[in-house]
Amino acid sequence: MSFYALWQEQDWQSVQQSVLDCTQGDVEQALQRQGKRTVEDFMALISPAADAYLEPLAQLSAQLTRRRFGHTMQLFIPLYLSNLCANDCSYCGFSMSNAIQRKTLNEQEVEAECRALKKQGFDSVLLVTGEHERKVGMAYFRTMLPVISRYFSHIAMEVQPLSEAEYAELRSLGVASVLVYQETYNEQVYAEHHLRGRKQDFKWRLQTPERIGQAGIDKIGLGALLGLTDWRTDSVATAMHLRYMQKHYWRSRYSVSFPRLRPCAGGVEVAAEVNDRQLVQLLCAFRLFDAELELSLSTRESAYFRDHAATLGATHFSAGSKTQPGGYADQAIALEQFSTEDNRSPLQVAEALQKQGLQPVWKDWELGLS
């Protein structure tokens, strides 16, 4: 059974209500659970009732994280290849109806970006594009990946959903990890925010992680865009999705991200805000749900928040991010996907981590091994 079919058996309102109905007793049981925690435990840990237990939750999360990951933080940087997009999404600065300057990097420009990033110390890169099958599709990736893989030992991608065969080809071109965020697991809300383009196909997107797993990609990233609708219900769906994926595609590693909706050109109002306290609760709940899970916090979050959250459960930080194509080699360009909060340089982020006793790690994998 596909996750799509499994999720269709769930009723959004009932899931939402079950989380709200969790008691302090449920939270205590979830905190004290020996062995693997259940989705019900996760629901209790993100429930309003768990707010009173935030400190013990954070303590447990910090312990589990140090036990599994040691005193390290993996650093990576997004490399925006293109902001062309054939979708209209209410929350994204790249939306086709936004009158921003469009740019797709050519081979020389990609190389210039790679060199600029390499100079900053990064060996792990996340390639990002808008969704434009024709101009920024497999043919483009086939040309650019051999260039990029000369510079980085770990390549992750966050691009439009592809077919299983295309993921298998990306893998052979050196892509070790693929991130595809569902944005929201609420099919109706999803329809309200995706107004044009192939991204309107909820089912195709929801089944993407399964195609990635089938293609044998080493690491798969999941997540919901927090703020489109009730973040708790979306997070329960993410947790269920994660468990489903882990059962069926057990050779892959998994990561979860917690992007909070950020202001962007022509963007929507945040419908359901997640405050800092709740974001910490969510991050720690995921850690208790899965001790091996990689948890990523981007520069969407402030330096203050990230410095404190670093020891609580996060394992991956981006740093020095520019969300516009060509932004590393040429500082003057301004056509960003969203505005970042933590604008420190990678070196400054690394120093802040070291002050907290965490070693910044710039490398994730040796390409020659795969």
Partner 1 sequence: MTWMIDGVELQSRLLSGSGKFGSASLMRAALEASGTEIVTLALKRIEHDMQSDDMLSATADLPLHLLPNTSGAKDAKEAIFAAQLGRELLQTNWVKLEIHPDPRHLLPDPVETLLAAEQLVKQGFTVLPYCHADPVLCKRLQEVGCAAVMPLGSPIGSNQGLQTRDFLQIIIEQASVPVIVDAGIGAPSHAAEAMELGADAVLVNTAIASSGNPVVMARAFAQAVSAGRQAFEAGLAGRHNGASASSPLTAFLE
Cβ proximity of 155 and 125 under 8 Å: yes
Given candidates 15, 60, 126, 352, which one binds partner 1 under the rule CB under 8 A? 60
Q: Please report whether residue 277 would count as binding partner 1 according to CB under 8 A.
A: yes
The DSSP secondary structure of 205-264, one letter per residue, reads: HHTHHHHHHHTT-SEEEEEB-BTSS-HHHHHHHHHHHHHHHHHH-TTSEEEEE-PBP---
How many Cα neighbours within 13 Å face the side chain of 141? 27
Convert residues 290-329 into a mask of x (bound to partner 1 by CB under 8 A) and - (unbound).
Answer: --------------x---x--xx-----------------
Other beta carbons within 10 angstroms of residue 192's beta carbon come to 14
149 counts as binding partner 1 under rule CB under 8 A: no
Structure tokens at 349: 């982020």
Quick check: 332 binds partner 1 (CB under 8 A)? no
Which lies closer to partner 1 via its Cβ, residue 29 or residue 149? 29
Among 192, 276, 330, 341, indicate the residue that binds partner 1 (CB under 8 A): 276
Packing angle, helices 276-289 and 39-46, rounded to 10: 160
Looking up tokens 């850690």, which residue turns up?
287
Minimal CA–CA distance to 158: which of 4, 6, 271, 298? 298
Exactly one of 4, 16, 48, 62 binds partner 1 (CB under 8 A); that residue is 62
| Closest among 1, 15, 5 to 234, alpha carbons compared | 15
Comparing CB distances to partner 1, the nearer of 257 and 281 is 281
Compare residues 289 and 365 and give the one whose CB is closer to partner 1.
289
Q: Tell me the site size for partner 1, rule CB under 8 A.
A: 26
Q: How many residues in total does the chain contain?
A: 370
Contact between 55 and partner 1 per CB under 8 A: yes
Q: Is 53 helix (H, G, I), strand (E, B) or coil?
A: helix
In this chain, which of 9, 35, 119, 332 binds partner 1, going by CB under 8 A? 35
Binding to partner 1 in span 151-190, by CB under 8 A = none
- The pattern of x and - marking residues 224 through 263 that bind partner 1 according to CB under 8 A reads ----------------------xxx-x-------------
* Minimum distance from residue 20 beta carbon to partner 1 (Å): 20
Closest CA to 208 of 131, 105, 318: 131
CB 177 within 8 A of CB 154: yes
Nearest to 311 by CA among 114, 62, 38: 62
Least distance to partner 1, CB of residue 291, Å: 11
Angle at which helix 54-69 crosses helix 24-32, to 10 degrees, equals 20
Does residue 68 interact with partner 1 by CB under 8 A?
Answer: no
Q: Which CB sits closer to partner 1, 71 or 277?
A: 277
Taking CB under 8 A as the criterion, the residue among 8, 17, 32, 343 binding partner 1 is: 32
Which residue number, 54 or 271, has a Cβ lying nearer to partner 1? 54
Nearest approach in angstroms of CB 344 to partner 1 is 17
Query: Which of 280, 282, 295, 349 contacts partner 1 by CB under 8 A?
Result: 280
Q: From the list 42, 53, 258, 338, which residue makes contact with partner 1 (rule: CB under 8 A)? A: 53
Q: Write the CA distances from 350 to 83, 114, 319, integer angstroms.
A: 29, 20, 9
For partner 1, which is the closer residue by CB, 81 or 295? 295
CB 263 within 8 A of CB 187: no
Interacting residues with partner 1 (CB under 8 A): 29, 31-36, 53-56, 58-60, 62, 246-248, 250, 276-277, 280, 304, 308, 311-312
